[in-house]
């Protein structure tokens, strides 16, 4: 007999229906004072589905649900990305969501070369001498 609680969703199709109803709810509900649809979020999706955020991510590790969860996460990430492009005031919040729920990592590139080349690494050439066999080079 399997251990643990029974699954909330018996099939990926059942989960997908719940996810789609969340997106439809968001699209129909306007955010006050902004006149834009409610943004998609992982937390909002989880509340709509009646599961925790951790349970949602656990479903991603089940092979039969993996694509369903990944597709939903990508749709949420796309919505956040588009909102950050459309409204520069939302960039920080969108970045926070992308980092927390979608694995995005901020990286910085530092150029340590000088423009005049004065800090370029020096080339070191090592010349090897032929090995000696221990003789003095004379035949006896």
pLDDT in tens, 88-127: 667 777 777 778 777 777 777 776 666 776 666 667 777 6
φ, ψ for residue 21, nearest 5 deg: -65, -30
Q: Find the largest Cα–Cα distance for the chain.
A: 103
Centroid of chain to Cα 83: 17
Give yes or no for a contact between 100 and 57, defined as CB atoms under 8 angstroms apart: no
Q: Give me Rg for the CA atoms of the chain.
A: 29
pTM: 0.64
Residue-wise over 29-57: b if at least 16 C-beta within 10 A, else e?
A: eeeeeeeebbbbbbeebbebbebeeeebe
The reported pLDDT for the residue numbered 39 is 86
Centroid of chain to Cα 25: 25
The reported pLDDT for the residue numbered 132 is 62
- Please state, in angstroms and rounded to a whole number, the distance separating the CA atoms of residues 48 and 69: 14
Tens digits of residue pLDDT in 39-51: 899 999 999 999 9
**DSSP 8-state class, residue 89:** G
């Amino acid at each position: 007999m399997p251990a643990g609680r029974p699954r909330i969703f018996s099939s990926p199709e059942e989960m997908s229906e719940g996810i789609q109803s969340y997106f439809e709810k968001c699209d129909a509900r306007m955010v006050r004072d902004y006149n834009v649809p409610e943004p998609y979020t992982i937390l909002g999706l989880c509340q709509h589905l009646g599961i925790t955020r951790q349970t949602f991510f656990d479903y991603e590790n089940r092979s039969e649900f993996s694509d369903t969860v990944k597709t939903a996460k990508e749709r949420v990430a796309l919505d956040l990305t588009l909102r950050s492009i459309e409204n520069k005031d939302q960039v920080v919040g969108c970045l926070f969501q992308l980092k927390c729920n979608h694995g995005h990592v901020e990286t910085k590139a530092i150029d340590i070369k000088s423009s005049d080349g004065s800090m370029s690494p020096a080339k070191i050439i090592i010349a090897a001498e032929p090995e000696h066999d221990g003789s003095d080079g004379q035949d006896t």
